[in-house]
Amino acid sequence: MQCYWLIAITGFFDFEFLDIDVDLEGADAVGPLGAIAVFINIGQVPVALVFSLIVLNFWILAMLMYFLPISAGGFINGVLLIPALVASIYITKKEVEPLKKIFQKRKTVDDIEHKVLTRRCTLMCDLKEGILGQARVKQKGASIVVNVKPEFKEESFTKGEVAFVFRKDDEKDIYYIAKSLSKEEFKL
């Protein structure tokens, strides 16, 4: 853990030779580790922080085993490390709950939703009621491509038309769009 934080601190100084890119196949796979990750809110709070809290809690519990009326070291203490690890995961879950709110507020600043809502988008395909399409929202750097549907039933769009991103349906992860007013219509 100390090695990780030393590398993270040197990352503050931006040493590019320490950059490591890891591609994990099936990172979203459900399994025992995936279940633990969901349980302790990994993804809503940075992994490094959650892992550091687990290690810190585990270390504290391991140090408290010194006060148990058994001799230090040996098989029994080794077996007691397993419940200490499980207890440290539960303690970390409780510690991460208030941090979740802090990181959600921070995330919303850079969140794609806030870069897309109330912006103009360009349709990438023809779009009618009941049909899902895609639109491109221009920004500095790469454009953002989002799934869109018409907000109003009577509206239809053609490829290349400019529309206004009206709202988002969080459950379906779809943005609803409406006709964008031209400069002449806006003046009226």
Q: Examine the domain organization and report whether 77 and 168 are in the same domain.
A: no
Confidence of residue 106 (pLDDT cuts 50, 70, 90): low
Q: Examine the domain organization and report whether 94 and 8 are in the same domain.
A: yes
Checking if the pLDDT of 114 tops 60, the result is yes
Q: Examine the domain organization and report whether 29 and 96 are in the same domain.
A: yes
Q: What is the pLDDT of residue 47?
A: 80
Q: What is the pLDDT of residue 91?
A: 94
Confidence of residue 185 (pLDDT cuts 50, 70, 90): very low
The rounded mean pLDDT for the chain is 77
For residue 177, count other CB atoms closer than 10 A to its CB: 27
Lowest-confidence segment of 29-33, 102-106, 124-128 by average pLDDT? 29-33
Checking if the pLDDT of 53 tops 60, the result is yes
Checking if the pLDDT of 160 tops 60, the result is yes
- Tell me the mean pLDDT in the region 153-181: 84
Residue 166 maps to which CATH number?
2.40.50.140
- Residue that has been written with the tokens 């993804």 in this structure: 43
| 170 Cβ contact partners less than 8 Å away, ≥ 6 residues apart | none
Of 47, 74, 109, which closes a domain?
109
Q: Examine the domain organization and report whether 135 and 152 are in the same domain.
A: yes
Q: Examine the domain organization and report whether 90 and 182 are in the same domain.
A: no
What range does the domain containing 125 cover? 113-187
Question: Are 176 and 169 within 8 A, CB to CB?
Answer: yes
Q: What is the pLDDT of residue 66?
A: 83
Of 109, 142, 165, which closes a domain?
109
Give the tens place of pLDDT for each residue, 127-143: 887 788 889 988 877 78
Q: Choose among 156, 157, 158, 134: nearest CA to 147.
A: 134
pTM metric for this prediction: 0.47
Q: Examine the domain organization and report whether 143 and 131 are in the same domain.
A: yes
Q: What is the pLDDT of residue 8?
A: 65
SS3 for the chain is CHHHHHHHHHHHCCCHHHCCCCCCCCCCCCCHHHHHHHHCCECCECHHHHHHHHHHHHHHHHHHHHHCCCCCCHHHHHHHHHHHHHHHHHHHHHHHHHHHHHHHHHHHHHCHHHHHCCCEEEECCCECCCCCEEEEECCCCCCEEEEEEECCCCCCECCCCEEEEEEEECCCCEEEEEECCCHHHHHC
Structural domain count of the chain: 2
Q: What is the pLDDT of residue 12?
A: 56
Confidence of residue 36 (pLDDT cuts 50, 70, 90): confident
Of 88, 109, 130, which closes a domain?
109
- Tell me the mean pLDDT in the region 61-73: 84
Lowest-confidence segment of 26-40, 56-70, 110-124, 148-162 by average pLDDT? 26-40
Q: Examine the domain organization and report whether 89 and 123 are in the same domain.
A: no
Please state whether beta strands 144-150 and 174-179 pair in parallel, antiparallel, or not at all (unpaired).
parallel
Q: Give the C-alpha distances (Å, rounded to integers) separating 70 from 58, 59, 78, 91.
A: 19, 18, 12, 24
